[in-house]
Chain A
Amino acid sequence: MTFFMLQVMAQEAEETSGGINLILPDTDELIAGIVAFLIVFGFIWFKGRHWIGRLLAARQEAVTSRLNEAEQAKVEAETLLVERRKEVAGAQDEANRIVEEGRRSAEAIRAEILAKAKAESDETARRSREGIEADRERASEQVRDLVAVLSLELAQQVVAGSVDADSQQALVNRYIDELEGMPH
């Protein structure tokens, strides 16, 4: 390969400067150079082969490790994503549950308030009916009392004017007769 490069360079120099001989060494020099090059190359190959292999292996291992890490990170990220999605879904469910619970609570409170209002309304109506009934009963009693008092006064006047002495004596005699008829 190096030799080929030298030929290419010589050709280029030939073309630009007017002759390959201006740059090409002598054949001996060239052979010595090639041999020197091969020796150096062989030395380097012998000595640096393992080091380069280790370097490449380390490099490969590092790359592999990074790839693994990247893969792991990707897996973790995907796992995290799944978890986050689950969490989001859970949060959504929780939110739905809370909303549903709130709706049920609101419904229960509404029903309770309605029931309480109805009970109070019924109680007020009942008391009103009782009050009206009591007022009616009172008024009725007052009328009865008034009728009774007026009747009694009228009766007293009639009796006072109609019971003569004979009737008075007859009343006393009847009283005595009733006394005599009482059990001892």
Chain B
Amino acid sequence: MASPDLVHGYAAGMLEVARAEGMIDRVSDELYRVARALETSTELRLALSDPRLPLDRKQGIVEDLLGGRVLPLTLNLVSFVVAAGRSSDLPAIADRLAERAAAERDRAVAEVRTTFELDEETVRRLAASLSRATGKQVEVKTVVDPSLLGGLVATVGDTVIDGSLRHRLEGLRQALQRR
């Protein structure tokens, strides 16, 4: 795990590149999604961080996964991090980049996990509701996580609001164990 300064440095550099290209929001959002995918896929994480795997193979994997699905700039930034041997730090770098981008607009990042892709209207309502609930203007980053079974989990800073079916079933399990 890289030091906070190193993560901060990578995030700041990549943010400046995105700013120069005028695509901070989209690049930030895409990097956030890539980071979450990397977190949930153990095989992908191990492959990209395997020191025995040649760099061109790693680049090939990244291009196969992201090519055509994200902006070329996002693809290049991910390739840059992988080439630097920091693929395991990509989630932290993406988080930091999203936080900085949101902070520049006086906003906080709200990570929202659901079992399916939310439409824009739902994201907008959710952002408004979370802003009211937390007292902060939030910028929603959505992550698809089928393990939730249903509902959603919103994380804003240290605040976690868990409305997932998995959480409710877990509460049910604990209640059964306490009886």
Contacts and interface: CB of A to CB of B under 8 A. Distances in A.
Interface stretch (B78-86, B95-103, B123-131): B123-131
Contact of B165 (A163, A173, A178): A163
A147 interface: yes
A179 B150 contact: no
A179 B177 contact: no
Nearest to A160: B149
A152 interface: yes
A171 B151 CA distance: 5
A110 B92 CA distance: 77
Name the prevailing secondary structure of the A interface residues: helix
A44 interface: no
Interface stretch (B19-27, B31-39, B41-49, B168-176): B168-176
A184 B135 contact: yes
Contacts of A151: 172-173, 176
B99 to A, nearest CB: 22
Nearest to B163: A175
Interface string A170-184: 011101101110101
Interface in A144-184: 144-145, 147-149, 151-152, 155-156, 159-160, 163, 165, 167-169, 171-173, 175-176, 178-180, 182, 184
B132 A175 contact: no
A182 B115 contact: no
B150 A167 contact: yes
Contact of A175 (B151, B170, B176): B151
Most chain A CB within a 10 A radius of its CB, from B116, B133, B150, B179:
B150
Chain A: interface residue count, which band?
A: 20 to 34
A181 to B, nearest CB: 9
B87 interface: no
Interface in B105-152: 114-116, 118, 122, 125-126, 129-130, 132-133, 135, 149-152
B118 to A, nearest CB: 7
A167 to B, nearest CB: 7
Contacts of B129: 176, 179-180
A3 B173 CA distance: 156
Nearest to B126: A176
Given A165-B116, A171-B165, A179 B132 contact: yes
A149 B151 contact: no
Interface string B146-167: 0001111010000001010110
A141 interface: yes
Nearest to B149: A159
B165 A159 contact: yes
Contacts of B163: 171, 175, 178
B169 A184 contact: no
B170 A152 contact: yes
Given A155-B169, A168-B150, A182-B132, 11 more contacts: A144-B179, A148-B174, A152-B172, A155-B172, A156-B166, A168-B116, A169-B122, A172-B114, A175-B151, A175-B152, A184-B132
16 contacts: A147-B176, A151-B176, A152-B169, A159-B150, A163-B165, A169-B122, A171-B150, A171-B152, A171-B165, A172-B151, A175-B152, A179-B126, A179-B129, A179-B132, A182-B132, A182-B133
